[in-house]
Chain A
Amino acid sequence: MRRFLDEWAMLLAALGIFLLCTLVIDNFLSPMNMRGLGLAISTTGIAACTMLYCLASGHFDLSVGSVIACAGVIAAVVMRDTNSVFLGVSAALGMGLLVGLINGIVIAKLRINALIATLATMQIVRGLAYIFSNGKAVGVMDEGFYVFGNGQVMGVPVPILITIVCFIFFGWLLNYTTYGRNTMAIGGNQEAARLAGVHVDRTKIIIFAVHGLVGALAGVVLASRMTSGQPMVGQGFELTVISACVLGGVSLSGGIGMIRHVIAGVLILAIIENAMNLKNIDTFYQYVIRGTILLIAVIIDRLKQR
């Protein structure tokens, strides 16, 4: 029973906060607000799925916010110049994959600390987003592109569907494939994994490449919702994603992490932010509250381990 509570505590907490909000906040359960909440979860949720792998392997990736912005800009620019949605989206995803590959190779092969490596790519990619867009938002006219952000399948917005698919797919990948298990083993004890025959470097490169690709996907979805590629979006987004993971119970030092942690963390952050918006709490105070919640969550986690 205790173990059950330990493992599901954060998801239960997310559920509790949700129920509390339905009781005390008017209009919280309204279809429009639920839709907004779902959309708010989507960008963080998609990127958090693969950030989980970075964290579980004992690293993290700061460049994801820039990748999101750059992916949107590249998609918009390429579509403007070629009139092809396919080419635009492919170029954006290709950029994400490339940035991820570079991150992975620099971290795994050249043994550069992930903080420094991704801090560097974060700035480079942000700069490229401004260069490609001339510093201005690039509008998208092609309505075929709008489906990623504004389309619906049986009444469910496409971004939410993509997020759910990501949760399921990456949760499954972590538990039922050698790739997922090797990721955990690398975070738990890299040397032991290497000696046991795990291709440590190759696995790390894949982790970062996939994270870059998925980050770009989140960027495409976001650009589609905004019907433009904007070079300034996603500033500080990487920290929100890492916060969500850690809040849900993923360990910053590697070796501990499950998709339910990610889901819980993303839900809690999004619900609280949504509630604060409905209550018209000043943005400045929202920062303080969000930080406080994160701090309390990691302290509780620490106390639990005693």
Chain B
Amino acid sequence: MHASPATQQQTATGSLRFDAIGKNFPGVRALSDISFTAHPGQVLALMGENGAGKSTLLKILGGAYTPSAGQVLIGEQPMAFKSAADSIAGGVAVIHQELHLVPEMTVAENLLLGHMPARFGLVNRGAMVRRARELLKGLADEIDPTTRLGELSLGQRQLVEIAKAMSRNAHVIAFDEPTSSLSAREIDRLMTIITRLRDEGRVILYVSHRMEEIFRICDAVTVFKDGRFVRTFEDMAQLTHDQLVTCMVGRDIQDIYDYRPRAQHGVALQVTGLLGPGLQEPVSFSVSKGEVLGFFGLVGAGRTELLRLLSGLARHSAGSVALEGRALHLKNPRQAIDAGILLCPEDRKKEGIVPLSSVAENINIGARSRHAYLGCLLQGRWERENARQQISAMNVKTPSPAQQIMFLSGGNQQKAILGRWLSMPMKVLLLDEPTRGIDIGAKSEIYQIIHNLAAQGIAVIVVSSDLMEVMGISDRILVMSEGALTGELTREQADESRLLQLALPRSRG
């Protein structure tokens, strides 16, 4: 029963070693000559800008890609993963950002998918639920295995995915941006679990863009850049934020936000007593021309819902919205766009890009009807010019405007989508998590764009869950919690503890 981990498992123990891994795609070298080791009982962070090669490496580990060169070794035993099944059998679990779960099925079914307790193909439901409860024990005891997965919060789903990985007793567990959709409390719990997994002598890889997590949980950091290994920092106590960022981008952190005071002239958008889906209390605020107004809050605080009301995606039930003193009654996004209010949505994949279409199509789709003859015949010259202009203004890295946008990195997709909105005349720009999941280099370019727009007299509202970002770029910060505005701070008043205090749910005793 209580044998040491080394004797318990014959196949997969010891260190995980990447030996001279290379990966080529047609025309692209994604990884070259990557060698490093992750030790058992250690949480190793993998960091680097988007496109640095972290995801490709995880896909090789998970068996989705086979390397063009080199090999993966676990405990000095070469592992040739040809499929996800191979990787699982080799004791590896990769927990992806997008969870691989079925929302329509119950938690228990999801946990045991592929190996449900059954006889002659008939599922033994009682045994299945019992087994699921065991798996969730100590991890998420409050989740009832018989609930439909779709009813759980994103954080709880993440826990189910982790339980699934643990059910296979994986020796190597890789987390890919696990906290991007979790609340602060859920993050705490995840950290505890990761610590426990580490202490059991497993190899943990942790991919994240969030510095505070890296410093909180990781024992070492390996940095990549442009598909190459840069270095591993073994001593976290000696490492500073700035050192790490400088290593990743080769640039100082102060340059990133590049905030300079701007002139503000008059109210652009005035919101009074607004109520609607997702808002618990009437919301009133205004934003001036040339102002960057930050909205901070936790996931689910109602910020995205507020933006949906302002952009005509949802209808308000009470209150009013006025643009430059004129009342607006928006029924759909087109009317908001025509009035000059543009929303750049949060979920780039779901609501931003048209993946199969070209970069040029993605840029032109919003503005083209204004430039088309009779509103419907496309003007070829404008189409070409506008795409070219936005690609160069946004510094979108793409081989050609005809390239399908799905082949671009997240940061470049986001810049192309920003180019779509900037092709249209606007008075108010609503940005929902504009830099989520993109690298620091692209972030800094996006901050620059925001700054330039504000300098042109456009009112910019930025919703962000990234404290440093909100404080770094905003003139003024509004905080939301549980569907209500809970505070307003000027740039000078804002600090981390005040913002967090306002953002945390108030006790309703």
Tell whether, in the assembled complex, residue A177 and residue B372 are in contact, meaning their CB atoms are under 8 Å apart.
yes
A148 to B356, CA, bound (A): 39
What residues of A have a CB within 8 angstroms of the CB of B300 in the complex? none
Would you list which residues of chain A between 186 and 202 have a CB under 8 Å from chain B?
188-189, 191-199
How far does the alpha carbon of A184 sit from the alpha carbon of B358 in the complex, in Å?
11
A256 to B358, CA, bound (A): 12
* Chain A hits for B356, CB < 8 A: 188, 255-256
| Minimal beta-carbon separation of A9 from chain B (angstroms) | 18
Q: Any chain A CB within 8 A of the CB of B468?
A: no
Whole-angstrom distance between the Cβ of B254 and the nearest chain A Cβ: 34
Interface pair A177/B377, CB less than 8 Å apart: yes
Whether A196 pairs with B366 at a CB distance below 8 angstroms is: yes
Interface membership of B368, Cβ < 8 A: yes
Q: Is A185 an interface residue (CB 8 A)?
A: yes
Residue A136 is within 8 A (CB to CB) of chain B in the complex: no
**A237 beta carbon closer than 8 Å to chain B:** no
Q: Does B41 sit at the interface, judged by CB under 8 A?
A: no
Alpha-carbon gap, A182 to B372, bound state (A): 13
How far apart sit A191 and B343, CA to CA, in the bound complex (Å)? Answer: 12
Does B350 sit within 8 A of A, measured CB to CB?
A: yes
Q: A197 is contacted by which of B337, B354, B357 (Cβ under 8 Å)?
A: B337
CB < 8 Å neighbour of B368 from A181, A191, A192, A199: A181
- Interface size of A by Cβ–Cβ distance < 8 Å? 21
Residue numbers in A under 8 Å from B237 (CB-CB): none
Tell me if A179 counts as interface (CB < 8 A to partner B): yes
Known: A188-B355, A256-B356. A194 touches B378 (CB 8 A): no
B487 to chain A, nearest CB (A): 29
Query: Which residues of the partner chain A approach B357 to less than 8 Å between Cβ atoms?
Result: 184-185, 188, 255
Closest CB of chain A to B84's CB: distance in Å? 15
Does any Cβ of A come within 8 Å of B202's Cβ? no
Would you call B361 and A195 a contact (CB within 8 A)? no
Contact B354 A185 (CB under 8 A): yes
B82 nearest CB across to chain A (Å): 14
Chain A residues positioned under 8 Å from B351 (CB to CB): 189, 191-192, 195
Q: CA A178 – CA B380 in complex, angstroms?
A: 12
CA distance A177 to B350 in the complex (A): 25
Instruction: Given A181-B361, A185-B357, A185-B365, check contact A192 B352 (CB 8 Å).
Output: yes
Q: How far is the CA of A188 from the CA of B350 in the complex (A)?
A: 11
A199 to B365, CA, bound (A): 12
Tell whether, in the assembled complex, residue B333 and residue A197 are in contact, meaning their CB atoms are under 8 Å apart.
Answer: yes
Check if B345 is an interface residue, CB within 8 A of chain A: yes
**Given the contacts A197-B366, A256-B356, A177 and B376 also touching, CB distance less than 8 Å:** yes
> Which residues in B have their C-beta under 8 angstroms from that of A284?
none
B368 (CB) vs chain A CBs: closest residue: A178
State whether the Cβ of A176 lies closer than 8 Å to any Cβ in chain B.
yes
* In the complex, B30 has a CB within 8 A of chain A: no
Q: Which residues of B contact A192 (CB under 8 A)?
A: 350-354
User: Complex formed: what's the CA distance from A199 to B311 in Å?
Assistant: 15
State whether B365 touches A193 (Cβ < 8 A).
yes
- Cβ-defined contact, B354 with A178, below 8 A: no
Chain B residue with minimal CB distance to A3? B402
Contact check, B350 vs A176: say whether CB atoms are below 8 A apart: no
Contact (Cβ within 8 A) B420 A196: yes
Q: Tell which of A182, A188, A191 has the most Cβ of chain B within 10 Å.
A: A188
* Complexed CA–CA distance, A196 and B363 (Å): 10
Which residues of chain B from 339 to 384 have any CB-CB distance to chain A below 8 Å in the complex? 343, 345, 350-357, 361, 364-366, 368-369, 372, 375-378, 380
Chain B residue nearest to A175 (CB atoms) is B378
Contacts of A176 in B (CB 8 A): 377-378, 380
Which residues 368-408 of B have a CB within 8 angstroms of A? 368-369, 372, 375-378, 380
Contact B337 A193, beta carbon cutoff 8 Å: no
- List chain B positions with a Cβ less than 8 A from chain A: 311, 313, 332-334, 337-338, 343, 345, 350-357, 361, 364-366, 368-369, 372, 375-378, 380, 420
Which residues of A approach B to under 8 Å, CB–CB?
Answer: 176-179, 181-182, 184-185, 188-189, 191-199, 255-256
Q: List 30 A-B contacts (CB under 8 A).
A: A176-B377, A176-B378, A177-B372, A177-B377, A177-B378, A178-B369, A178-B372, A178-B375, A179-B376, A184-B354, A184-B361, A185-B354, A185-B361, A188-B356, A189-B351, A189-B353, A191-B345, A192-B350, A192-B351, A192-B354, A193-B354, A194-B313, A195-B311, A196-B333, A196-B365, A197-B334, A197-B337, A197-B369, A198-B365, A255-B357
Top 10 nearest A-B pairs (CB, nearest first) are A188-B354, A196-B366, A197-B337, A255-B356, A189-B354, A191-B351, A197-B334, A196-B365, A188-B356, A177-B376
Given contacts A177-B372, A188-B355, A197-B369, 15 further A-B contacts (CB under 8 A): A177-B377, A178-B368, A178-B376, A181-B361, A184-B357, A185-B361, A193-B365, A195-B313, A195-B333, A195-B343, A196-B366, A198-B365, A199-B334, A255-B354, A255-B355
